[in-house]
């Protein structure tokens, strides 16, 4: 029997964000989009630092959930999230360096929560942890009165995962020199299992 099938998912405490950031940095080390938007110089350190910054912001302005003791993590921003403070923006700008212009600035639809990141440690992938995190997060959004969630992904395997949880592709962008980006959306409902309604 797979122990991961019974792994617990819960809202992360602030003191757990560093562990979550390490997990996400490991999960995204070879992800096409992070390779595209983060300079190769000190790539691993930049990636880990960005994950810490993004998780801190999401913890204050949305939801951060953790699976087990850091096997995986997910972060979402609420629709009315406050603008990041100037100091945080300055750090993000510095970490992205000369690749800052590669970041997508497309705004989310009005009223939609935004799934910022979802990752499982490489040593724990393929065991259903991402699905547990997604179900928890969608249920939490529904519990808080949310109606929809949007996300972007640059991996076709992720598209299939999200489709199983009620997400549908709204656009696919293919730009020269950049990985493809699928923008996806799901409706959430407190009345449906997993919080999503197809």
Model confidence pLDDT, tens digit, residues 166-177: 999 999 988 888
The pLDDT value recorded for residue 176 is 80
Look at domain 3-197 and name its CATH class. Answer: alpha beta
Least confident of 4-18, 27-41, 86-100, 146-160: 4-18
Closest by CA to 56, choosing from 39, 77, 36, 37, is 77
Longest dimension (CA), the chain: 49
Distances 80 to 35, 59, 91 between C-alpha atoms, Å:
29, 14, 22
Do 149 and 76 contact (CB within 8 A), yes or no? yes
Other CB atoms within a 10 A radius of the CB of residue 72 amount to: 26
Q: What six digits make up the tokens of 106?
A: 């497309």
Do 116 and 171 contact (CB within 8 A), yes or no? no
Angle at 54 between CA 48 and CA 58, to 5 degrees: 145
CA 20 to chain centre: 12
The CA distance from 84 to 93, in Å, is 12
- Higher pLDDT pick, 54 / 175: 54
pLDDT digits (tens, 9 = 90+) for 109-164: 889 999 999 999 999 988 899 999 999 999 999 999 999 999 999 998 899 999 99
Closest by CA to 113, choosing from 173, 26, 188, is 188
Other CB atoms within a 10 A radius of the CB of residue 12 amount to: 22
Whole-number average pLDDT of the chain: 90
């Amino acid at each position: 029997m797979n122990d991961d099938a019974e792994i617990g998912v819960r809202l992360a405490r602030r003191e757990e964000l560093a562990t979550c950031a390490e997990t996400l940095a490991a999960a995204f080390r070879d992800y096409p989009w992070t390779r595209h938007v983060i300079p190769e110089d000190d790539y691993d350190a930049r990636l880990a630092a960005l994950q810490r910054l993004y998780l801190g912001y999401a913890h204050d302005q949305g939801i951060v959930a953790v699976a087990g003791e850091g096997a995986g993590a997910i972060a979402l921003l609420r629709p009315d999230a406050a603008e990041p403070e100037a100091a945080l923006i300055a750090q993000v700008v510095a970490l992205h360096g000369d690749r800052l212009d590669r970041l997508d600035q497309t705004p989310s639809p009005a009223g939609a929560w935004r799934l910022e990141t979802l990752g499982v440690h490489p040593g724990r992938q393929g065991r259903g942890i991402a699905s547990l995190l997604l179900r928890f997060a969608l249920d939490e959004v529904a519990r808080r009165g949310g109606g929809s969630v949007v996300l972007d992904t640059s991996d076709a395997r992720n598209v299939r995962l999200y489709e199983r949880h009620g997400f549908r592709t709204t656009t696919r962008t293919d730009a020269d020199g950049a990985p493809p980006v699928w923008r996806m959306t799901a409706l959430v409902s407190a009345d449906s299992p997993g919080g999503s309604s197809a």
